[in-house]
């Protein structure tokens, strides 16, 4: 069945706004075809399918008794530009395969597979439209409402996207999108939390000058200062367990071969599972920027762009997932998710858990993104164990 | 007279392509007005004026005897965009003032003041059009010929720009455009050479990855590598007397806040009076790039963009300039010019020397560019001593 899961993901990757690539933003035209293909597999597994007014695809597999609480399984259907075939969609296809493996057997809870309409934030720069509507948050501003209407849905009915109040919780399968599991030679990892994140703009202001006539000792080179700071950030981040810090953008002014840079504008992205560690690290990075700027006779300024606390996954759900992993005889590995996922949003409303599948080469958001059949098989086995645990718990 | 020199420079700065700034490229329309204003001062000083077919303004002050050799004095008339009022033009105005100070007295040599039409290379990306035509080099490609024709001159007559074969040499006055004289509290400096220059493109290629999901230990961050290299370049350049090395451009790919940079493209500008020192330094910089790239598991490539040897000023002319400085009771300071000047080109054809005037704040290529009246007075005094030296030498 793992090969079928992979084949289905690759089939959905054909639905794209841009021929030759996989690019599928919030409720863009190819999303109709995504819904159609998934609907066929869902109905074949005995589920009843609807599309809610936030554009989420919802497939219900009823319980043995009416009125039983639902367990939600899912992930997102949208992609980044020039995406791979597994980010998001794998979690939906895998959930459908789990229901298929039940082969008609009914449980003490219903299962609802959710394909969220939007997670990546590409179309409007605002992520998690699908999962935020699912937990009842306000998402339908004018542009989102227009997009919903253009897709043939009614934004005024968006309350129909809300999850039932008596839900057991939410389980998401997702590729890791990083190299950790591969480096540890592990198929699966349990995210026990999603890292908090700080983003800042940091600008060094020096003195633009002639590269030929200004001796090294009389320079106030903004790029040299930024470079020294980037080295300090890398060194300090590497010395703190679990901390990642990235300077992803650096713009140099005026940016001419023969002119000493007068200004260097950097961005800094800092993440850690523990908010206190993260905030202390940001303070340390800014202090080292100020110190080296002062030492060099430059000025430095910073502006916070984002300060997002860490989100813990539900302890009981994580424990159940651990039992499912060990019960399936796979090695146990708890980790922090460095990226945001729908589970992070859904966790505000109900118990949530997140199971990572190894990403070969750590590659994601790229056409070479991949997943191994044996890891999909592992996830299916663990998923079935998880359903059995829930069944036993409701005993 | 020093105040008059400064006032004339500021008057010429009004001739511009761009109101509110001083921007005057090769044979642009405002150059007509520059010629007109200078011509008036030149004729008033007893000189006969012509414009050669390269657009250079030429003003001859005849000797006591016909057929005497000429001494050339001058600099350039064009500017960078948003320039100051002294780069180039000061050398021409100062030369006219020297002739004016002769008050009709004739010497054993004639004096020809040259206002070169082009030095900065702004209009066509190729510098020194005026001085290269002056030494008889081929400059009139299709674009240059069109510009000459559009200005009302005849490019087929460009041989009329060539300097006479029996010239004594060329003396140029120019603002330093750097902070060295000011830092030493000196009005004047004698350039004994013009630094050689290497320009290179250096590209670090790492692995683009997710800033949240990739631990510090598994990154191949191209920007972090470039930053470490920039620090090494700065440190090594600072440890070598007279060496300057500048990374003026740095482009980061993909340049997103939450993506580890996959590539960083830098430029490197290296200058020194001694070509061997410069070439060794470039080798050392590239070796350190390769070493740290290897250590980090990245690749690095480099491409030479320019390799321009140092140019020595004429020893006898430099000695005469030294005698003029000490004879005027100013402190003596020999230095290397970190920037190229017309004197560097003219030196290929005849003895040349270059006298720098202090640049307040080291500022140039900027509207705040300035020169002090007392330093202009010093240059005039030294210039008159230099003329006396030449006169004595022809004794």
Answer for the pair B114, B72: CB distance below 8 angstroms, yes or no. Answer: yes
Spatial distance between the Cα atoms of B146 and B368, rounded to a whole number of angstroms: 34
Residues ≥6 apart with Cβ < 8 Å to B161: B52, B53, B54, B56, B130, B133, B134
Spatial distance between the Cα atoms of B352 and B171, rounded to a whole number of angstroms: 6
Q: Once rounded to an integer, what is the mean pLDDT over residues A336-360?
A: 96
In three-state secondary structure terms, A264 is: strand
Burial track A93-121 (b if 16+ CB lie within 10 A, e otherwise): bbbbbbbbeeeeeebbbbbbbbbbbbbbb
Q: Do residue A249 and residue B252 have CB atoms under 8 angstroms apart? A: yes
SS3 content of chain A, % helix, strand, coil (to 5): 40, 25, 40
Which residues in B lie closer than 8 A to residue A202 (C-beta atoms)? none
Spatial distance between the Cα atoms of B83 and B15, rounded to a whole number of angstroms: 12
Which residues in A lie closer than 8 A to residue B177 (C-beta atoms)? 210, 213
Q: Once rounded to an integer, what is the mean pLDDT over residues A305-324?
A: 94
Q: Where are the beta strands (DSSP E) in chain B?
A: 48-51, 57-61, 70-76, 110-116, 169-175, 188-194, 196-205, 209-210, 244-246, 250-253, 259-260, 263-272, 299-308, 311-312, 334-337, 352-357
**pLDDT score recorded for residue A257:** 87
Q: Name the residue among A177, A214, A249 with its Cβ closest to that of B178.
A: A214
Q: Name the residue among B214, B227, B248 with its Cβ closest to that of A261.
A: B248
Residues ≥6 apart with Cβ < 8 Å to B334: B189, B190, B191, B192, B318, B322
Q: Do residue A209 and residue B362 have CB atoms under 8 angstroms apart? A: yes
**pLDDT score recorded for residue B365:** 87
A395 pLDDT higher than 80: no
- Interface residue A210 vs chain B (CB under 8 A): yes
- Give the B window 240-279 contacts with A, CB below 8 Å: 243-250, 252, 255-261, 267, 269, 271
* Burial class of residue B391 (count of CB atoms within 10 Å of its CB; 0-12, 13-18, 19+): middle
Residue to mutate among A83, A216, A256, A366, with most B CBs inside 10 A, is A216
Task: Name the pLDDT band for B52 (thresholds 50, 70, 90).
Answer: very high
Shortest distance between the Cα of A364 and any Cα of chain B, in A, equals 8
- Give the A window 291-320 contacts with B, CB below 8 Å: 305
Q: Do residue A247 and residue B224 have CB atoms under 8 angstroms apart? A: yes
B395 pLDDT higher than 80: no
Residues ≥6 apart with Cβ < 8 Å to B241: none
| Nearest alpha carbon to residue A296 among A351, A220, A385 | A220
Task: Name the pLDDT band for B114 (thresholds 50, 70, 90).
Answer: very high
Spatial distance between the Cα atoms of B18 and B122, rounded to a whole number of angstroms: 14
Answer for the pair A369, A85: CB distance below 8 angstroms, yes or no. Answer: yes
Q: Once rounded to an integer, what is the mean pLDDT over residues A106-113?
A: 98
Q: Do residue B211 and residue A183 have CB atoms under 8 angstroms apart? A: no
Task: Name the pLDDT band for B217 (thresholds 50, 70, 90).
Answer: very high
| Nearest alpha carbon to residue B130 among B110, B150, B144 | B144
Spatial distance between the Cα atoms of B88 and A263, rounded to a whole number of angstroms: 27
- Interface residue B337 vs chain A (CB under 8 A): yes
β-strands B169-175, B70-76 pairing = parallel
Task: Name the pLDDT band for B140 (thresholds 50, 70, 90).
Answer: confident
What's the pLDDT tens digit per position in B251-272?
999 888 888 999 999 999 999 9
Residue A82, sorted as left (phi over 0), alpha (psi -120 to 50) or beta, turns out to be: left
What's the pLDDT tens digit per position in B2-46?
999 999 999 999 999 999 999 999 999 999 999 999 999 999 999
Task: Name the pLDDT band for A20 (thresholds 50, 70, 90).
Answer: very high
Shortest distance between the Cα of A383 and any Cα of chain B, in A, equals 23
Q: Looking at chain B, which residue has its C-alpha nearest residue A262?
A: B248
Q: Once rounded to an integer, what is the mean pLDDT over residues B347-369?
A: 95
Q: Name the residue among B179, B209, B258 with its Cβ closest to that of A362.
A: B209
B122 pLDDT higher than 90: no
Shortest distance between the Cα of A267 and any Cα of chain B, in A, equals 6
**pLDDT score recorded for residue A248:** 94
**pLDDT score recorded for residue A17:** 96
DSSP state string for B273-309: SSHHHHHHHHHHHHHHHHHHHHHHT-EEEEEEEEEE-
Answer for the pair B114, B162: CB distance below 8 angstroms, yes or no. Answer: no
Q: Once rounded to an integer, what is the mean pLDDT over residues A271-288?
A: 97
What's the pLDDT tens digit per position in A70-79?
999 999 999 9
DSSP state string for A325-349: HHHTTPPP-EEEESS--HHHHHTTT
Q: Once rounded to an integer, what is the mean pLDDT over residues B288-299?
A: 98
- Interface residue A80 vs chain B (CB under 8 A): no
Indicate the average pLDDT of chain B. Answer: 96
Residue to mutate among A217, A258, A260, A262, with most B CBs inside 10 A, is A258
Which residues in A lie closer than 8 A to residue B227 (C-beta atoms)? 226-228, 230-231, 234, 247
What's the pLDDT tens digit per position in A24-47?
999 999 999 999 999 999 999 999
Shortest distance between the Cα of B272 and any Cα of chain A, in A, equals 9
Q: Once rounded to an integer, what is the mean pLDDT over residues B193-218?
A: 94
């Amino acid at each position: 069945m793992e090969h079928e899961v992979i084949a289905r993901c690759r089939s959905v990757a054909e639905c794209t706004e841009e021929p030759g690539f996989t690019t599928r933003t919030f409720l863009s035209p190819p999303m109709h075809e995504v819904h159609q293909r998934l609907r066929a597999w869902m109905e074949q597994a005995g589920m009843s399918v609807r599309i809610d007014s936030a554009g989420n695809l919802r497939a219900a597999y009823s319980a043995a008794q009416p009125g039983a609480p639902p367990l939600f399984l899912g992930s997102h259907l949208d992609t980044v530009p020039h995406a791979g075939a597994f980010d998001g969609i794998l979690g939906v296809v895998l959930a459908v395969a789990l229901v298929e493996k039940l082969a008609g057997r009914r449980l003490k809870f219903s299962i609802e597979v959710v394909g969220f309409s939007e997670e990546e934030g590409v179309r409007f720069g605002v992520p998690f439209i699908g999962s935020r509507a699912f937990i009842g948050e306000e998402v339908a501003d004018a542009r989102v409402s227009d997009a919903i209407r253009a897709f043939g849905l009614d934004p005024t009915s968006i309350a129909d996207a809300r999850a039932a109040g008596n839900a057991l919780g939410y389980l998401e399968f997702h590729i890791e999108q990083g190299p950790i599991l591969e480096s540890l030679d592990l198929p699966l990892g349990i995210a026990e939390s999603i890292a908090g994140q700080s983003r800042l703009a940091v600008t060094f202001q020096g003195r633009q000058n002639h590269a030929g006539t200004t001796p090294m000792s009389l320079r106030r080179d903004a790029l040299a200062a930024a470079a020294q700071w980037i080295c300090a950030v890398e060194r300090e981040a590497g010395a703190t367990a679990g901390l990642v810090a990235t300077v992803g953008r650096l713009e140099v002014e005026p940016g001419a071969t023969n002119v000493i840079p007068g200004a260097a504008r950097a961005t800094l992205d800092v993440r850690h599972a523990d908010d206190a560690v993260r905030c202390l690290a940001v303070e340390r990075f800014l202090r080292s920027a100020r110190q080296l700027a002062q030492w060099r006779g430059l000025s430095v300024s910073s502006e916070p762009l984002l300060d997002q606390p860490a989100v813990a996954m539900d302890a009981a759900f994580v424990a159940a997932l651990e039992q499912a992993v060990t019960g399936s005889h796979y090695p146990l590995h708890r980790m922090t998710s460095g990226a945001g996922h729908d589970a992070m949003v859904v966790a505000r409303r109900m118990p949530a858990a997140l199971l990572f599948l190894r990403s070969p080469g750590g590659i994601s958001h790229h056409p070479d993104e991949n997943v191994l059949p044996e890891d999909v098989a592992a996830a299916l086995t663990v998923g079935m164990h998880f359903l059995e645990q829930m069944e036993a718990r409701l005993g």
